[in-house]
Structure formats: C-alpha cells, structure tokens
Amino acid sequence: MKPVPASSSNRLTRTSAGKTRSLVILLLCQVGAMSVWFSSSAVVAIVKQAQGLSSLQATLLTSAVQAGFVAGTVTSALLSLADRFDPRRLFMVSALIAGAATACLVFLPPASAAAILLRFVTGICMAGVYPVGMRLAATWAKGDLGLLIGLLVGALTFGSASPHLLAALGGSSWRAIYGISACCALLAGVAILLCGVGPNMARATRIEWDALAGAWRKPALRLANLGYLGHMWELYAMWAWLAVFLQASLTATGVADPRVAAEWLTFGAVAAGALGAWLGGALADRLGRTTVTIGAMALSGVCAALMGWLFGAPVWLVSVVALCWGVSVIADSAQFSAAIAELAEPASIGTLLTAQTCAGFLLTLVSIHLVPDIVALAGWRGAFGMLALGPLLGCVAMARLRRLPDARRLAGGRR
C-alpha cells in the first residue's frame, strides 16, 4: 500500500478540525438565533394567565412569524440569495435584525399591532438563518449529510424549546423571555463569522429560475417536497399549541401550578426532538432516507391522534406520549432537506432548500390557525386527529419516492 504523503495527511487533519470547529459554531449560533422564533409561544401562555388574550391574538403572535418566514423564503428563493452570497454574512445580518426586533418587544404591549409586526419581521429574518444554516452544513458533508443536517435541526429544535425553559425558570416575566432570546440572537449574529465554509460550496453566478420549476417538475424532488409538507402540517402546530393543551389538561387533573408544569413538560417534549433529530440523521445515513421518514411519520401520527384522547388523563401517561411525540415529530425533518440536497444540482441546493422550507411554512399557517377552530368544534381529539392526517399523507409520498430510480441517489444508495 502506498503511504499517504505527510502534506496530504496534514491537509486532511486540518480539514477535519476545521469541519468540527465550524459545525460546533454553527450549531451554537443556530440555537441562539432560533430562540427568538418560538419566544411568543411561551409568552402566550404567561400573558393568557396574567392579562388574558383572545384566541385570535394568541394565534397571530405565533403565525406572524410563520407568515414572515414565508415572505422571507419566497424572496430568498426567487433571488437565489443562499446560492449567490456568502451564507455566513446572510446569517449574520438576519440574526442581528431578528435580535433587534425581539428586543423591541420588551417595551411594547404583548399583543399590540406593533408587536405582531415585529414578529413578522423576525420571521422574515429567520429565512436567512434556518435554510442558510442547512446550506452551510451541507458544504461540509462527506457521506454524513443526514447526520449533519440532523444535528442542525436538533439545534433548531432546542432553540425553539428554550423559551419554554425560560418561562419555567423565570416565572411570569414575559419581558425577560423576549430580552434573553434577543441577546442570544445578537450573539449568534456576531459569532457566525467564526464559522468556516466547507469544500462542497458551489456558488451560483445568476438567479436560477429553472431550478425552482424543477422542484415540482421532477418526480423525485416533487415527492420529497410532498413528504416534507405532510411532516410540516403536524410539526409547527404541535409546537405552537402543545403548551396550551398541556396547561388545560393539567388544570383539569388538579395539578397545583399547571402553567409552570406545562412549560416544563413542553420544554421536555420539544427539546427531546433534538435527540430525535440526531438519531434520525444517524439512522438515515445507514438505513436510508425513506425508511426513516416513513417510520418517524407513522409514529408521530399515532402520537398526534392519541394525544387528544388523553385530555385530563394521568400526568405520567400524558408525559410519556408527549415525549414520544416530541422525539418522533422531528426525527424525519432533516431527512427531507438531505434528500433535496442529494437530488438537486449542487449550484441550486440553497435555492431549493429555501423553496422547500417556504412551502412547508406556508402550510403551517393553515394548520396553526385551524387548531383553535377545530378545538372549539370537536375538542382536542378532533384538532390533534386533524394534525395526524399530515404524516399519513407524507408516508404515502415517501413510499412512492422509494420506488423511483432516483431514490438510489439518497444516502449513498440506501433509500
């Protein structure tokens, strides 16, 4: 066997060290920047108890971020921003603006028109954080794309859960939740410049309109996106309303302080998704993307359908199902993005990832707004049962993708 030259060995060592260092920085920055996203979910439960909020106000505080994210991703995808510019600088600008917008919420009434507008601005900025972070992670991938994006989605999940931890620790200070989240985003915006860009970065030189059309014209890309839509129908509505459901359920069972208990349990359920994202990524690289996505969606759909029937059930039983739901509902998330990265042309990966997340979050506006209406008509059983339809249809889409020849490009041939 020919010995590896010392210069090549040193270069490989430096590349490996740079990859590890950059991914650690990226993960920390993702947690910090994403903490502003779901800060309103924790705030809603606090303000509802202290001051009272209408269902419309509570929904708008959450869905304004989703709507802003859709607007941001549409703009980014149409202009191919993630493929044409340095992703670190795009992440930096987005995180800094999101942090500043969240800091302003400390000084405003929680459900005012200005507060809802600032949440919309925050959502626009998240379009430069979440898909751009996935783009950065993909530049370092070498046979471990599912795991890398899984770790990134795990960071997103923990960042989304962190406001509930702040709410559980910080009592009734909703201003503190916004303030701490804003500081985290501002720090992330500065620290992302320490992250490196991997060797797989392919930069587009112009706006690629054909790439967007191909996301729907090509059967493999279309099915991967449809699977993602089924997943998203459930995910963000679950994250947005789980704390409200748990608080009402724990109140019905006579728990001493249902709000704080619900925040702790919600934090545990959502944060457990970080473990699910890591596990899903590790398994998908070994077993296949469609195998893991179908299995995860089947489990999360069962948990969603079951949870509504557990209103007022013993706390331990509700907790077990909530934790299982939290792990399974996110375990497949990164694999839809990894599938797009493997099925797309290298110079259009950033644009197609942005378009995918745009479509997914546009759909979440529907499911998030439907939940309180369905609860009013058919209770939590009907609302969570409605969410279970998404993963059911997602399983069908991924099963069809599995049968296509293009599926051999997934996970090194492991469909």
CA dihedral 93, 99, 101, 106 (to 10 degrees): -170
pLDDT score at 3: 45
pLDDT score at 13: 46
- 3-state helix/strand/coil string of the chain: CCCCCHHHHHHHHHHHHHHHHHHHHHHHHHHHHHCCCCHHHHHHHHHHHHCCCCHHHHHHHHHHHHHHHHHHHHHHHHHCHHHHCCHHHHHHHHHHHHHHHHHHHHHCCCCCHHHHHHHHHHHHHHCCCHHHHHHHHHCCCCCCHHHHHHHHHHHHHHHHHHHHHHHHHCCCCHHHHHHHHHHHHHHHHHHHHHCCCCCCCCCCCCCCHHHHHHHHHCHHHHHHHHHHHHHHHHHHHHHHHHHHHHHHHHHHCCCCCHHHHHHHHHHHHHHHHHHHHHHHHHHHHHHCHHHHHHHHHHHHHHHHHHHHHHCCCCHHHHHHHHHHHHHHHHHCHHHHHHHHHHHCCHHHHHHHHHHHHHHHHHHHHHHHHHHHHHHHHHHHHHHHHHHHHHHHHHHHHHHHHHCCHHHHHHHHHCC
pLDDT score at 278: 81
Q: Which fold has domain 20-197+207-413?
A: Growth Hormone; Chain: A; (1.20.1250)
Q: Helices (H), strands (E): how many in the chain?
A: 16, 0
Q: Which two tokens stand for residue 168?
A: 């559980």
pLDDT score at 162: 65
Q: Which two tokens stand for residue 132?
A: 């751009």
Least Cα distance to 192 among 37, 88, 319, 332 occurs for 88
φ, ψ for residue 52 (rounded to 5)? Answer: 90, 135
Per-residue model confidence as pLDDT tens for the chain (415 residues): 344 444 444 444 455 567 888 888 988 898 888 888 777 766 776 776 666 677 777 778 777 887 898 888 888 777 777 677 788 889 999 999 999 999 999 898 877 889 889 999 999 998 888 778 877 877 877 767 677 777 777 777 776 666 666 666 655 577 888 888 899 999 999 999 998 887 766 555 455 556 666 667 788 888 989 999 999 999 989 888 898 899 889 988 888 778 778 888 888 888 888 888 888 878 888 888 889 999 999 999 999 999 999 998 899 999 999 999 999 998 888 888 888 888 877 667 777 777 787 888 788 888 988 998 999 999 999 999 999 999 999 999 999 999 888 878 886 666 6
List the chain domain ranges: 20-197+207-413
Calculate the alpha carbon distances from 390 to 279, 297, 361 in Å: 22, 9, 13
- The 10 Å Cβ neighbour count of residue 11 is 11
pLDDT score at 380: 93
> Residue 53's Cα: distance from chain center in Å?
26
